[in-house]
Amino acid sequence: MFQYRAATLADAPAICDLIVRSERHDGVPRVLDLVELIEEMSDESVDLAARSLVALIDARVVGHMIVHHRRADVVEQRCHLDGTVDPAFRRRGVGGTLVEFGLAKARMVLTAIDDDLPKFIRLAGYDYIDSVHRLAARMGFTPVRYFDELLRPLTDLPERFAVEGLRIEPWPTDRDEEIRASKNTAFLDHWGSVPTPAAAWHDQLHGYSGRPDLSFIAVDATTDQVVAMLVTSRYESDDETLGRRDGWIQTLGTLREWRGKGVGSALIVEALHAYLADGLTHASIGVDSENPSGAARLYRNLGFLPRQRMVTHQIEV
């Protein structure tokens, strides 16, 4: 009944429509934009010919799976499975077939890497999408981490404040690589984080959702070293569904030696004021519930409240 083949970029419109239908059915409050999906499918972590699959019925795409892998030299090696099944064709074995394919391809990639780093296969879903978690359990995954998405209206904003020894500055036009190096260092002790390569960093800053004009850095006032950064993303296609205009704090990192001094708070407050001036209504951020930097507490102290939770499932290879 179902046919399967590798995905191509030509399938992007059909896959985008599939994801939008699925997420609407599951109550996920976003609307994926085709440009965003094409950017994701073109990322260097994706090999469509070798590590993707679409399920078709009567030439219509009713399911998809993409295995993301970006090789790392530190922390860990991992693959992430990303896929969905049309709600009208669930409970017919399509999801199981897609995940089995993803697991096989991920294991092939990871076992071919000859190093001593731990190796993991992961998939994630919002905690209220029971079908994802049932399928993950059936395939041998274990829930290992919880990520909260927090939201704050841009009202009653705290006043900007200075941090001794630092300057808060708008995102510069000529320091992306230097900031990337600081970001990678800052995130070395964050669970599941591996260094971001230059191409992915460029896409985050200047791709579909990038808003460097609403992003900021903190620099050492003496050395001019970048010690912290806040990267903003905007997803305008979500505005109508959400009934608001969110600025997403996509990346917030501080070098270990500068933590506990209020640097992250200063960057967030600066961003909140910039969002309001740009006509946005809310700020959103995702946070690892067990983040060692105390980020969850920091955000709540700044008025962010939990909105929804993502569960990450894992298999160790």
Phi, psi (5° rounding) for residue 97?
Answer: -60, -45
Whether the predicted pLDDT of 26 surpasses 60: yes
Whether the predicted pLDDT of 273 surpasses 80: yes
Mean pLDDT calculated for residue range 20-43: 96
Whether the predicted pLDDT of 294 surpasses 70: no
The CATH number of the structural domain formed by 3-140 is: 3.40.630.30
Q: What is the pLDDT of residues 155-167, one digit of tens each?
A: 999 999 999 999 9
Whether the predicted pLDDT of 111 surpasses 60: yes
Mean pLDDT calculated for residue range 265-282: 98
Domain boundaries, the chain: 3-140, 150-309
Q: What does the alpha-carbon distance between residue 59 and residue 139 come to, in Å, rounded to a whole number?
A: 28
Per-residue model confidence (pLDDT) at position 172:
97
Q: What percent of the chain has pLDDT over 90?
A: 91
Residue type, 89: F
Q: What does the alpha-carbon distance between residue 229 and residue 194 come to, in Å, rounded to a whole number?
A: 17
Whether the predicted pLDDT of 240 surpasses 70: yes
The CATH number of the structural domain formed by 150-309 is: 3.40.630.30
Per-residue model confidence (pLDDT) at position 300:
86
Mean pLDDT calculated for residue range 99-123: 97
Q: What does the alpha-carbon distance between residue 192 and residue 289 come to, in Å, rounded to a whole number?
A: 13
Strand order, beta sheet including 305-316: 3-5, 52-57, 60-69, 77-85, 119-126, 305-316, 142-153, 282-288, 246-254, 226-233, 216-220, 166-170
Whether the predicted pLDDT of 146 surpasses 80: yes
Q: Six-digit token pair at 265? A: 């708070």
Per-residue model confidence (pLDDT) at position 293:
53
> Rounded to the nearest 10 degrees, how much is the dihedral formed by the CA atoms of 221, 224, 227, 229?
100
Domains 3-140 and 150-309 belong to one CATH topology: yes
Q: What is the pLDDT of residues 192-204, one digit of tens each?
A: 888 999 999 999 9
- Average confidence score pLDDT of the chain: 95
Per-residue model confidence (pLDDT) at position 295:
67
